[in-house]
């Protein structure tokens, strides 16, 4: 079952980036932000899930430890889905309805990828609830080898010793690729140089900006 997000008719644009930690999302988002500033269309940069979820005990337990016995993953997934719906409809949509560009670090696709990567492959609710939010104008899926992503995360000063479920990263990568194929996402080979990647991202973004001049 595919996600059921709805194509939007707002005058603004929503661009989102998904992929493993260390796949290069923040790097490309920062470059795209600079690009939009240069063309006098200052973008609103945001991320999902919001800090409300990131700071919750259930989220922290899943991120920081291998012992998940206290919590049911579906409960976390529902919490994240709820947060994404609230954040999308009360933070992102008002901005694109005013004609602004919004760039989000992760979007609903990540919720589905995480759920499926943990074995919940038949949960239809996640696709059904996605019908309550708009489909982005472009969803970039940054794809890198798991080893590359992990070594990039480990090279960050504060994350040298961070808990990473390596097996999960392999399943997540697979899910991101499947989800991109199923939902019209743009898969970007994240092993190229930062500049090469940005050229590709930028050319998709510009195609969108030109196309929508004649209607979406």
Residues in touch with ligand ADP (CB under 6 A):
19, 21-27, 152, 155-156, 190, 193-194, 197
Q: Are strands 101-105 and 134-135 parallel, antiparallel or unpaired?
A: unpaired
**Min dist. Cβ of residue 179 to ligand ADP (A):** 16
Name which of 22 and 49 has its Cβ closer to ligand ADP: 22
Name which of 131 and 151 has its Cβ closer to ligand ADP: 151
| Rounded CA separation 144/151 (Å) | 11
**Min dist. Cβ of residue 152 to ligand ADP (A):** 4
Name which of 121 and 194 has its Cβ closer to ligand ADP: 194
196: left (phi over 0), alpha (psi -120 to 50) or beta: alpha
Which residue in the block uniquely carries the two structure tokens 């998904």? 18
Sign of CA dihedral 207, 30, 7, 99: negative
Integer-rounded Cα radius of gyration of the chain? 17
**Min dist. Cβ of residue 153 to ligand ADP (A):** 7
CB–CB of 159/129 below 8 Å?
no
Name which of 10 and 106 has its Cβ closer to ligand ADP: 106
**Min dist. Cβ of residue 197 to ligand ADP (A):** 5
Name which of 69 and 161 has its Cβ closer to ligand ADP: 161
Q: In what order do the strands lie in the sheet with 186-189?
A: 43-47, 101-105, 13-19, 138-143, 186-189
**Min dist. Cβ of residue 128 to ligand ADP (A):** 28
């Amino acid at each position: 079952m595919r996600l059921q997000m709805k194509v939007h008719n707002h005058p603004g644009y929503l661009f989102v980036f998904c992929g493993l930690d260390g796949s290069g999302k923040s790097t490309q988002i920062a470059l795209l932000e600079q690009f939009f500033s240069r063309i006098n269309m200052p973008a609103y940069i945001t991320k999902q899930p919001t800090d409300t979820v990131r700071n919750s005990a259930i989220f922290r337990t899943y991120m920081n430890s291998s012992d998940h016995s206290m919590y049911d993953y579906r409960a976390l997934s529902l919490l994240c889905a709820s947060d994404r719906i609230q954040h999308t409809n009360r933070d992102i949509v008002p901005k694109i309805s005013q004609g602004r560009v919004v760039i989000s670090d992760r979007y609903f696709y990540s919720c589905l990828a995480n759920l499926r990567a943990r074995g919940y492959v038949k949960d239809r609710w996640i696709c059904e609830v996605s019908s309550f939010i708009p489909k982005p104008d472009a969803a970039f899926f940054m794809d890198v080898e798991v080893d590359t992503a992990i070594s990039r995360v480990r090279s960050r000063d504060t994350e040298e010793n961070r808990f990473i479920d390596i097996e999960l990263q392999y399943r997540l990568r697979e899910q991101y690729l499947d989800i991109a194929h199923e939902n019209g996402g743009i898969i970007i080979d994240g092993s190229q140089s930062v500049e090469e990647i940005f050229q590709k991202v930028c050319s998709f973004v510009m195609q969108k900006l030109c196309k929508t001049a004649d209607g979406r």
